[in-house]
A and B are shown apart, each in its own frame.
Chain A
Amino acid sequence: MNALRRFFSFLSPLLALALVVGLFCALLAWKDVRDFQQQHEGTAFTEAFAKMRAQPDEAFTGLNSFITGGAWKKNLTQTAIVAVGALGMILILVSGGIDLSVGSSVAMCSVFVAKSLNTGSAPLTAALIAILAGAAVGCVNGSLVAGLRQNPFIVTLGMMSVIRGLALWRSENQTVNLNGDIGESWLLNLLAVEEPGKFWPLPAGVWLAIALSVLVAVVMNRTVFGRRIFAIGSNEATARLCGIRVRWTQVAIYTLAGVLFGIAGALQFSRLTQGDPTGGPDLALDVIAAVVIGGASLNGGSGSVFGAVLGALLMTVLRNGATAMAWEDWTQRVIIGAVIVAAVALDRLRRKER
């Protein structure tokens, strides 16, 4: 019984994703039929549907743009950055903290990559610099939260602005374009889509995100360090009573999350092929929403890596589905915001039932 319940709570983000996909399929099919009716005036809905069934590939254009292999490759590629960010965020959220500066960190790291490539660094060096910069920011955040015993919300709200400022300073207030003499490199092609019509092959960045997800899931669930993250988040007093060095662990958690934000920064650079100091203003929202939709509690102590990654994917699917429906940007924003609130409300309801 208990195992069954755990299995369902594990599956619930997957079910939510399936629900959203199903809903959009239905909506898009309906829209395709209505478009067909407009082109062929006088056809009844059922008649139009029957005619379209005969040649689905040409008729259901909207639906096809949403559920084919190529569309899913696009979904995954667009999710990679938010997913890697969400991996860092889940470490922090489970430990009972929060990091609002993630968007600025990612933007700053993308600037660092572009800058160091321009000064002649090898791609690997540039990527490592981004990761180090992310780790340094995380270490500062963690030290402020743990050392000054400050509320992480306020600390990282302040750092959000500080880091954005640093990114602008480093980039001299403009996007950092690559010098013309820098040729193709793997770092530029992390999220490059080859053969857009097909699902395979997936870009390297997607594989990287998948590998990191597995790694973070293993760290959280199979190591003593992961156990401590959950312990601190579920009851800090107990963690202290049990001899966990809470503050050092917090610094380690924020630093590790910073490493992941650095990687997200490298991916961001790779997608734009430039360092944008003003990029990702909504990233913090997306990342936190992904983790929360995935079932993590903002009070700490619970959350799943699998859920967080699916949460990130869910939001991309929502965006792309809304685009396929030709809804305007404002509609998308309203819907995504509503989904986040609904996810949290559902989660609360589920917890109450226990």
Chain B
Amino acid sequence: MSHRLTLDGVKKSFGATAALRGVSLGVGEGEVHALIGENGAGKSTLMKILSGAHEADAGRIALDGAPFAPRNPHEARRAGVAMIYQELNLAPDLSVAENIVLGAEPSCLGCLGWLRRGAMRDTARRALAELGHGDLPPDAPVRSLSIAEQQLVEIARALAGEPRVMIFDEPTSSLTQADAERLFAVIARLKARGVSVIYISHFLEECRRVCDRFTVLRDGESVGTGALAETPMAEIIRLMVGREVSELYPRIAHTMGEVVLRVDAAASESGGLAVRAGEIFGLFGLVGSGRTELLRRIFGLDAMAAERIAIFGREESSASPPRRLAQGVGLLSENRKEEGLMLRRSLTENLTATRPIARAGWLLRGRERSATRDWISKLSVRARDPEQAVGELSGGNQQKIALGRLLHHDAKILLLDEPTRGIDVGSKAQIYRLTGELAAQDKAVLFVSSYIPELLGVCDTIGVMCRGKLAAVRPAAEWTEHTLMEAAIGTI
């Protein structure tokens, strides 16, 4: 059987990290193909290759039998591969019609020319009508539309370019149920038109409704493919998580003490969250399930929602980072480059930012430097000297500095948001060891991660968040990869 789009053994590495280790996949004409995988399985890298943002290192990609290797997004679009991103790419102040023809405006006299407004409206109307939404006013500014309508405009724009393949990245993540239904109808129309669709979603139920076949990605490899109607859900989940545990998680003996952090969420279905001194509490969930937001509320970076947060038994109606730091709470940001670190400033400045070594406002620079040297050797950071800019270090070493800030602050409650994201295996192992050592020193660790094996390997207790709520909390021993994924997807 010949496919419209064929991928064969596609590989891609970023430095020493292999993002894709061999992906093969075939999508037929008029087929809706689900691409399923955990966070970090390589879905987004694959999409970036198809849309021309990255180039593959190895492997073959063919579109209708001809080799397809776009060097930039423009080439990909011209070849007939269109992307509908999770974040919409529209010009909010332009009208619906202007957005639909954007970049391909009908005009006389070439690019210098006069915009043919009539033709522009016709193109827009035709594209919208084909989607079954000919009623959307072509002159309305996009800003005035709902999210679902904006998404339609985006799809219509892609359709106006006569695409052969359309890729949807988590298209329903910000839609209501009714809007999602309408989107499914639009996808059915695309399918009837012969457009091949790749549909990326975490929601397996949704994939089952919309898609014909699926491919599961895991750790950068395609591990299974088949027809959705014939494959039981349990089998797909097994494919998603069923990896061998190859990394070593050192267990350092630690005992739990008093509850030091308690979150009582009025809106929560379960009993809320309580973290004890000397406990490593894991928090699992899909991207967008509200874990980072919860951490930021605990730390006082965002305003509290309908919940009560008690630190060391003391409950306060409002919180701020300075207050939390004074109480001994520290937050490691998931976004190291944009929030976690001042990349152009020195290791010393980054490490001592929450607790500068100073007397009466006067910095003791010599002592700061020697303290930094101590942390560099304790955390085995590969760095030249304390005055070096932190941005010059590798990702893993940067992360150690960001974590070192919490250690230097001597935080008693550590909120770690994706502490091992995007770092090498060696640094990961060190961070696991360090987390164990912190618990052994009677510190409470709240460990947010999207990587199930590390949660099972490192944590004492694991809670799962789903759609903004804490869905379930159990001791780590009572969870399996399978049940964690089920809880996160919301099937239990």
Closest residue of chain A to B389 (Cβ to Cβ) is A354
Q: Does A189 contact B (CB under 8 A)?
A: no
| A224 CB contact (under 8 Å) in B344, B345, B361, B387 | B361
CA distance A235 to B344 in the complex (A): 9
* Binding stretch for chain A, among B56-64, B195-203, B351-359: B351-359
Contact A301 B361 (CB under 8 A): no
Q: Does B331 contact A (CB under 8 A)?
A: yes
Q: Does A242 contact B (CB under 8 A)?
A: yes
Q: Does B388 contact A (CB under 8 A)?
A: yes
> When each residue 322-346 of chain B gets 1 if its CB lies under 8 Å from chain A and 0 otherwise, what string results?
1011100001010000111111110
| A234 CB contact (under 8 Å) in B324, B342, B388 | B342
CA distance A245 to B363 in the complex (A): 19
For A354, the chain B residues whose CB sits under 8 A away are: 392
Closest residue of chain B to A302 (Cβ to Cβ) is B344
Q: Does B294 contact A (CB under 8 A)?
A: no
CA distance A157 to B331 in the complex (A): 38
Contact A231 B349 (CB under 8 A): yes
- Chain B 79-120 residues near chain A, CB threshold 8 A: none
| A222 CB contact (under 8 Å) in B324, B331, B349, B362 | B362
Contact A241 B339 (CB under 8 A): yes
Q: Does A149 contact B (CB under 8 A)?
A: no
Contact B384 A241 (CB under 8 A): no
- Chain B 287-346 residues near chain A, CB threshold 8 A: 301, 321-322, 324-326, 331, 333, 338-345
Contact A245 B322 (CB under 8 A): yes
| B356 CB contact (under 8 Å) in A224, A234, A241 | A224
For B322, the chain A residues whose CB sits under 8 A away are: 243-245
B388, chain A: closest CB distance, angstroms: 6
CA distance A91 to B191 in the complex (A): 60
For B342, the chain A residues whose CB sits under 8 A away are: 230-231, 234-235, 238-239, 301
A87, chain B: closest CB distance, angstroms: 19
Report if A243-B338 is in contact (Cβ < 8 Å); known contacts: A223-B362, A301-B345: no
A145, chain B: closest CB distance, angstroms: 20
CA distance A246 to B388 in the complex (A): 25
Contact B331 A227 (CB under 8 A): no
Contact B362 A231 (CB under 8 A): no
Contact A223 B339 (CB under 8 A): no
CA distance A238 to B343 in the complex (A): 10
CA distance A2 to B392 in the complex (A): 12
Q: Does B365 contact A (CB under 8 A)?
A: yes
Contact A230 B325 (CB under 8 A): no
CA distance A227 to B351 in the complex (A): 12
For B358, the chain A residues whose CB sits under 8 A away are: 223-224
Report if A2-B385 is in contact (Cβ < 8 Å); known contacts: A234-B344, A241-B321: yes
> When each residue 203-234 of chain A gets 1 if its CB lies under 8 Å from chain B and 0 otherwise, what string results?
00000000000000000001111110011001
A265, chain B: closest CB distance, angstroms: 28
Closest residue of chain B to A299 (Cβ to Cβ) is B344
Contact B363 A237 (CB under 8 A): no
CA distance A210 to B343 in the complex (A): 32
A266, chain B: closest CB distance, angstroms: 27
For A241, the chain B residues whose CB sits under 8 A away are: 301, 321, 331, 333, 339-340
Report if A223-B338 is in contact (Cβ < 8 Å); known contacts: A234-B344, A241-B331: no
Q: Does A51 contact B (CB under 8 A)?
A: no
Q: Does A333 contact B (CB under 8 A)?
A: no
For A2, the chain B residues whose CB sits under 8 A away are: 384-385, 387-388
Contact B339 A224 (CB under 8 A): no
B383, chain A: closest CB distance, angstroms: 11
For B405, the chain A residues whose CB sits under 8 A away are: 242
Contact B388 A242 (CB under 8 A): no
Of the four ranges (under 10, 10 to 19, 20 to 34, 35 or more), the interface on chain A belongs to 20 to 34
For B301, the chain A residues whose CB sits under 8 A away are: 240-241
CA distance A31 to B344 in the complex (A): 46
A328, chain B: closest CB distance, angstroms: 41
Report if A243-B365 is in contact (Cβ < 8 Å); known contacts: A230-B345, A234-B344, A234-B345: no
CA distance A184 to B362 in the complex (A): 40
Of the four ranges (under 10, 10 to 19, 20 to 34, 35 or more), the interface on chain B belongs to 20 to 34
Contact B344 A225 (CB under 8 A): no
Contact B325 A227 (CB under 8 A): no
Report if A238-B353 is in contact (Cβ < 8 Å); known contacts: A2-B388, A224-B358, A243-B325: yes
A24, chain B: closest CB distance, angstroms: 35
Report if A223-B361 is in contact (Cβ < 8 Å); known contacts: A2-B385, A237-B338: yes
Contact A235 B354 (CB under 8 A): no
Most chain A Cβ neighbours within 10 Å, of B321, B326, B358: B321
Closest residue of chain B to A240 (Cβ to Cβ) is B321
| B349 CB contact (under 8 Å) in A230, A237, A240 | A230
B168, chain A: closest CB distance, angstroms: 31
Most chain B Cβ neighbours within 10 Å, of A224, A237, A243, A301: A243
For B321, the chain A residues whose CB sits under 8 A away are: 240-243
| A242 CB contact (under 8 Å) in B353, B361, B362, B365 | B353
CA distance A240 to B322 in the complex (A): 9
For A224, the chain B residues whose CB sits under 8 A away are: 356, 358, 361-363
- Chain B 218-252 residues near chain A, CB threshold 8 A: none
B350, chain A: closest CB distance, angstroms: 8
Contact B363 A222 (CB under 8 A): yes
CA distance A245 to B326 in the complex (A): 13
CA distance A222 to B358 in the complex (A): 9
Closest residue of chain B to A246 (Cβ to Cβ) is B321
CA distance A245 to B322 in the complex (A): 7
Closest residue of chain B to A230 (Cβ to Cβ) is B345
For B344, the chain A residues whose CB sits under 8 A away are: 234, 301-302
CA distance A241 to B332 in the complex (A): 9
CA distance A354 to B388 in the complex (A): 12
B21, chain A: closest CB distance, angstroms: 33
Contact A235 B341 (CB under 8 A): yes
For B363, the chain A residues whose CB sits under 8 A away are: 222-224, 226-227
CA distance A59 to B276 in the complex (A): 87
For A302, the chain B residues whose CB sits under 8 A away are: 344
For A230, the chain B residues whose CB sits under 8 A away are: 342, 345, 349
- Chain A 172-228 residues near chain B, CB threshold 8 A: 222-227
B356, chain A: closest CB distance, angstroms: 5
CA distance A76 to B324 in the complex (A): 49
Closest residue of chain A to B368 (Cβ to Cβ) is A227
Contact A235 B325 (CB under 8 A): no
B397, chain A: closest CB distance, angstroms: 16
Q: Show 27 residue pairs from A and B whose CB-CB distance is below 8 angstroms, ordered by the A residue.
A: A2-B385, A6-B387, A224-B363, A226-B363, A227-B353, A227-B356, A230-B342, A234-B343, A235-B338, A235-B339, A237-B338, A237-B339, A238-B339, A238-B341, A238-B342, A241-B301, A241-B321, A242-B325, A242-B353, A242-B354, A243-B324, A243-B326, A243-B354, A244-B353, A301-B342, A301-B344, A301-B345
Q: Identify the A interface with B (CB < 8 A).
A: 2, 6, 222-227, 230-231, 234-235, 237-245, 301-302, 354
Q: Identify the B interface with A (CB < 8 A).
A: 301, 321-322, 324-326, 331, 333, 338-345, 349, 353-354, 356, 358, 361-363, 365, 384-385, 387-388, 392, 405
Apart from A223-B358, A238-B353, what 4 extra A-B contacts exist at CB < 8 Å?
A: A226-B363, A241-B340, A243-B321, A243-B326
Across the A-B interface, give the 6 residue pairs with the lowest CB-CB distance, nearest first: A242-B353, A237-B339, A243-B322, A243-B325, A234-B342, A235-B342
